[in-house]
Amino acid sequence: MAALRAESRIIIVGSGVFGISTALWLARSGYKDVTVLDMQDTASAAYDPLSGIDSASADLNKIIRFSYGSEIEYQRLATEAAGMWDEWNREIAVVPADELPERLREGERKLWWNSGMLRMSSETELDDFEITTLENMHREGIREFQFRSDDEADIARAKERGWAHKLDPCCRQERFGTHKAVLDSTAGFVYAYKSCSWAQHLARQAGVKMILDPMRGRVADIITKDGHPVVVTADGLELSADLVVVAGGGWTPSLIPEVQGLLETTAGSVANVHIPKDRFDLWDRFAPENQPVITWGSRQGKDVYSLPRDRNGVFKIGWRNTKWTNFQDVGGRRISVPKTAHVTDQKETRIPINALNGIKEFITINFPELVPLGISSTRLCWYTDSIDNSFVVDFVPGRPGVAVCSGGSGHGFKFLPILGREVVKILEGKGEQTVYGRMWRWRSSTEAKRNGLEEGEQGPRVLAKQNMAEQGDWRFTV
Ligand SMILES: Cc1cc2nc3c(=O)[nH]c(=O)nc-3n(C[C@H](O)[C@H](O)[C@H](O)COP(=O)(O)OP(=O)(O)OC[C@H]3O[C@@H](n4cnc5c(N)ncnc54)[C@H](O)[C@@H]3O)c2cc1C
């Protein structure tokens, strides 16, 4: 592909985290003709899943963490992103309301909440990942912000710094006689829909054009004409470009089938508990001021997480133990595709019963006071996993001017403010000279285990093979 010029016509498919961050950084880097296409009107609905937007990015909240075990490059990028989240908090707080998109004027003008994150063991010891993470944090000079629940010096430091009340919010020590956990006081969460809306607002301000429409914004095909990529939209228009970046989240493998074997569309399972405002005891306990993000038994067969309640009382819990696949015919191939609540032909709001039971177990053991409330809603959240859980940002072999930007593998959101900075370098052809360009390049693997991608349709994670939880299952049997 010819080198990019300031006037190059660049089309980005997808206005989720990967697409919007790329658009923002391209515009800020001086590219003047950047257009984002999306089949969903993420602007009017402000990425709100309750207003009918289905994507990994369109969610209530997401975890911001810096603990990455031995993956020090992600730890460093997340730490750099943290400074930008702080900056965005400062900016959004002072923008006059009439300059903001309508939905960003509602509620607190704050995207990122430093609530802390408590990584709780479900066993009587911390796992190896925790120990490695603590060692890395020590090496990077940030160990002092981590507090072990069983370390006297850490507990004393947590008290001094006002974090002690978040060391054991489930009263595990008192109830079970043991509590092994690490509180990361640098971590927390962001309101996801608001953060994407803010990034989209910044991208527009920087000159990015948006076509967010079920017909004009839906990319039906990407073809090559006269050596240029051409995007064909659902209404039959052909948009010629110098560069097309496909950031279609869970829809990426259906648009670019070449990624099969490298990327796979899978779903995580999420459930909400609604805490009523008049339950003052619970309302305060589950507020971000008192409740950290929690992960439980991450590498011990449980793999559940929860986030503090929002201003409407929604307490979100996710089950990461198994990610589901959904294989369909796409252009003659069997490819896993999203099956969401609104936007796909097949609709799904249920989650598999195994996932619901994992979430109920988490509540029963750790928050028994929520049992009488029951589950209030469930959702499958579709993302793209890569063979090694690392992102994929590179040109598609054999397709001039077409790049893919995806493979968030369940941890991409926290990089929203910074991801595009690294993507631009790759699109400019400098990927091999950067750490992230080398990590995110097009690749293959001959390992027997490839993050579950080796299973395909024969594997046990296929959604059609699961018993799905119905509303009647949301109640707890005591
Ligand atoms: C359950 C769950 C929990 C997660 N938790 C965290 C977390 O706590 N912390 C964290 O950092 N990350 C987390 N992630 C990961 C993070 O959400 C993703 O990495 C990130 O949002 C992916 O963004 P994306 O832009 O690749 O895809 P998406 O957000 O899915 O966006 C893709 C967009 O492309 C559009 N599109 C698709 N096909 C077409 C087409 N043909 N034409 C036009 N538009 C199209 C879609 O409409 C959509 O808007 C989680 C993900 C899930 C699913």
Q: Which atom of ligand 1 has the smallest separation from the CA of 18?
A: 25
Q: How far is the CA of 17 from the centre of ligand 1 (A)?
A: 6
Whether residue 423 has pLDDT greater than 70: yes
Whether residue 300 has pLDDT greater than 90: no
Q: Per-residue pLDDT tens for 21-35? A: 999 999 999 999 999
Q: Per-residue pLDDT tens for 398-412? A: 999 999 999 999 999
Q: Which atom of ligand 1 has the smallest separation from the CA of 408?
A: 19
Q: How far is the CA of 135 from the centre of ligand 1 (A)?
A: 31
Q: How far is the CA of 164 from the centre of ligand 1 (A)?
A: 34
Q: With pLDDT > 70 as the criterion, what percentage of the chain qualifies?
A: 100
Q: Give Cα 257 to chain centroid, integer Å.
A: 22
Q: With pLDDT > 90 as the criterion, what percentage of the chain qualifies?
A: 88
Residue 425 parent element (H or E): helix 419-427
Whether residue 102 has pLDDT greater than 90: no
CB 300, CB 123: distance < 8 Å: yes
Residues forming beta bridges with residue 211, ordered by sequence position = 37
Nearest CA to 433 out of 445, 425, 423, 442 is that of 425
Determine whether the shortest distance from the Cβ of 426 to ligand 1 is under 6 A: no
Determine the residue of 11, 12, 18, 326 to mutate for testing ligand 1's pocket, defined as the one with the most ligand atoms within 8 A of the Cβ atom: 18
The residue whose C-alpha atom lies closest to atom 31 belonging to ligand 1 is: 16
Whether residue 319 has pLDDT greater than 90: yes
Structure tokens at 137: 């944090």
Q: Where are the domains of the chain?
A: 9-65+192-262+387-444, 117-188+265-385+465-474
Nearest CA to 190 out of 310, 359, 91 is that of 310
- CB-based burial of residue 7 (10 Å sphere; 0-12 exposed, 13-18 middle, 19+ buried)? exposed
Determine whether the shortest distance from the Cβ of 410 to ligand 1 is under 6 A: yes
Beta-carbon contacts of residue 388 (< 8 Å; ≥ 6 apart): 443, 445, 450, 451
Determine whether the shortest distance from the Cβ of 55 to ligand 1 is under 6 A: yes
Q: Which atom of ligand 1 has the smallest separation from the CA of 268?
A: 1
Whether residue 460 has pLDDT greater than 70: yes
> In angstroms, how far apart are the furthest CA atoms of the chain?
71
What integer pLDDT is reported at residue 67 of this predicted model? 79
Determine whether the shortest distance from the Cβ of 255 to ligand 1 is under 6 A: yes
Whether residue 142 has pLDDT greater than 90: no
Residue 137 parent element (H or E): helix 128-139
What integer pLDDT is reported at residue 463 of this predicted model? 97
Q: Is the dihedral of CA 327, 329, 330, 334 positive or negative?
A: positive
What integer pLDDT is reported at residue 70 of this predicted model? 82
What integer pLDDT is reported at residue 446 of this predicted model? 87
The residue whose C-alpha atom lies closest to atom 50 belonging to ligand 1 is: 410
Structure tokens at 470: 């119905």
What integer pLDDT is reported at residue 445 of this predicted model? 87
**Position 478 confidence tier, pLDDT thresholds 50, 70, 90:** low
Q: How far is the CA of 133 from the centre of ligand 1 (A)?
A: 26
Determine whether the shortest distance from the Cβ of 116 to ligand 1 is under 6 A: no
The residue whose C-alpha atom lies closest to atom 37 belonging to ligand 1 is: 248
DSSP string of 46-110, one letter each residue: TT-GGGT--SSSSSSEEEE----TT-HHHHHHHHHHHHHHHHHHHHHHHS-GGGS-GGGGSS-S-
Q: How far is the CA of 14 from the centre of ligand 1 (A)?
A: 9
**C-alpha count within 13 angstroms, C-beta hemisphere, residue 324:** 27
* φ, ψ dihedrals at 150, nearest 5°: -115, 20
> Helices 17-28 and 419-427 sit at what angle, rounded to 10 degrees?
70
Instruction: Identify the CATH homologous superfamily for domain 117-188+265-385+465-474.
Output: D-Amino Acid Oxidase, subunit A, domain 2 (3.30.9.10)
Distance (Å, rounded) from C-alpha 240 to C-alpha 242?
7
Q: How many CB atoms lie within 10 A of CB 98?
A: 7
What integer pLDDT is reported at residue 299 of this predicted model? 82
Beta-carbon contacts of residue 24 (< 8 Å; ≥ 6 apart): 199, 202, 203, 206, 208, 420
Q: Per-residue pLDDT tens for 42-91? A: 999 999 999 999 999 999 999 999 878 789 899 999 999 999 999 999 99
Distance (Å, rounded) from C-alpha 387 to C-alpha 264?
8
Q: Give Cα 478 to chain centroid, integer Å.
A: 34
| CA dist 156 → 115, 126, 340 (Å) | 19, 20, 47
**Position 107 confidence tier, pLDDT thresholds 50, 70, 90:** confident
CB 401, CB 244: distance < 8 Å: yes
Under CATH, which number does the domain 9-65+192-262+387-444 receive?
A: 3.50.50.60
In whole numbers, what is the pLDDT of the chain averaged over residues? 95
Whether residue 353 has pLDDT greater than 80: yes
Mean pLDDT of 205-224: 98
Mean pLDDT of 309-318: 97
Q: Give alpha helix (H) positions in 367-410.
A: none
Q: Per-residue pLDDT tens for 221-241? A: 999 999 999 999 999 999 999
Determine whether the shortest distance from the Cβ of 366 to ligand 1 is under 6 A: no
**Position 472 confidence tier, pLDDT thresholds 50, 70, 90:** very high
Determine whether the shortest distance from the Cβ of 40 to ligand 1 is under 6 A: yes
Q: Which atom of ligand 1 has the smallest separation from the CA of 320?
A: 1
Least-confidence region, from 11-15, 298-302, 346-350: 298-302
Distance (Å, rounded) from C-alpha 315 to C-alpha 292?
12
What integer pLDDT is reported at residue 382 of this predicted model? 97
Beta-carbon contacts of residue 407 (< 8 Å; ≥ 6 apart): 262, 263, 384, 385, 386, 390, 391, 392, 393, 440
Determine whether the shortest distance from the Cβ of 381 to ligand 1 is under 6 A: yes
Determine the residue of 12, 17, 244, 325 to mutate for testing ligand 1's pocket, defined as the one with the most ligand atoms within 8 A of the Cβ atom: 17
